[in-house]
Amino acid sequence: MKKIIALILALATLFCFAGCGKKKANVKLTIINEELGAENYGIAFRSEDKEVCKYIDAAVQELVKNGKYAEIAEKYPDIIDNLLFLNGDSKYEFDKTVDLTKAKKRTFTMGIDPEYKPFSYLDDNGEYAGFDVEVCKAACDILGWDFNVFGVNWDQKLIQLDAKECDCVWSGMTILDSMKKAGYNISAPYYYNTQVLVVAEDSGIESSKDLEGKIVAVQLGTSGETLLNDDLKELKDTFQELVTCESFMKCFTELEGNAVDAVFIDYPVAKNYISGK
């Protein structure tokens, strides 16, 4: 008797968990066509790693020259238009004196947000993939470095960088002035990004002005959050509440579950999520 009851209950639990795996996809999301913040993505290195930063910059330029960079970019159609090295918008002055052959052999650990598709994510085989990961791997090949990936806790990425858990943060990361001020070495900007709002299609929200009294979600530690607390503070003050989530996936779950009215997020990630559904 006892065993039977235990078995039935165990099965019931299993059934519940199996149900959790099913994804509800009946909520149509849409991106509001309004650019709320313009910024550039870059790579952050520790303050003492000026050399490493130069080597990576030079290696990436080498990739651009030999066409490998464009080859990788082809695989990510959502982001290709805004890559600064490919569309000729990069005004960065590179240090031409760097000699790639002089790079000493080492292990290079790249710090990524493993949930930031299409820049860095875990693919179906459980391997790290994404545009940034592939570029870093190719750059390491040029430099003769051993390539390694470390998934950081996004809201503590710079602390983990300082603690030498990784050698750079390279994962669709916005360059902030506060990072430069704190002494981090920042690479050449490589991606032009805008912040956008994602809402449910039938919500009737058409611009940021319609957000008065609404609940908006943003991922903790992203530039979007910084922006809302800084340059866009007036917009934020019209919200009923700004909710910070630990990953952008959770932001979208909240939006689909109607717990928030809009998600404030980087354009490529929003586009990729909506097209991938």
Question: Running DSSP on this structure, what letter comes out for residue 24?
Answer: P
**Binding of other proteins by 213 (CB under 8 A):** no
For 213, the 3-state DSSP assignment is coil
259 binds other proteins (CB under 8 A): yes
- The Cα–Cα gap between 106 and 110 comes to 13
Instruction: Check residue 83 and report its DSSP letter.
Output: B
| Distance in Å, CB of 32 to other proteins, minimum | 21
* 39 is a contact residue toward other proteins (CB under 8 A): no
9 near other proteins, rule: CB under 8 A: yes
Count of other CB atoms within 10 angstroms of residue 235: 18
Please answer whether residues 146 and 109 qualify as being in contact, where contact means their C-beta atoms are separated by less than 8 angstroms.
no
Q: How many CA atoms lie within 13 A of 234 on its CB side?
A: 3
* C-alpha triplet 67, 70, 71: angle, nearest 5°: 85
253 binds other proteins (CB under 8 A): yes
100/249 with CB nearer other proteins: 249
For residue 226, state whether it binds other proteins (rule: CB under 8 A). Answer: yes
Give yes or no for residue 246 binding other proteins (CB under 8 A). yes
| Residue 247: DSSP 8-state | S
- Residue 165 contacts other proteins per CB under 8 A: no
Residues that bind other proteins (CB under 8 A): 1-2, 5-6, 9, 13, 16, 19-20, 22-24, 26, 155-156, 158-159, 178-179, 182, 215, 217, 220-221, 225-226, 229-230, 241, 243-246, 250, 253-254, 256-260
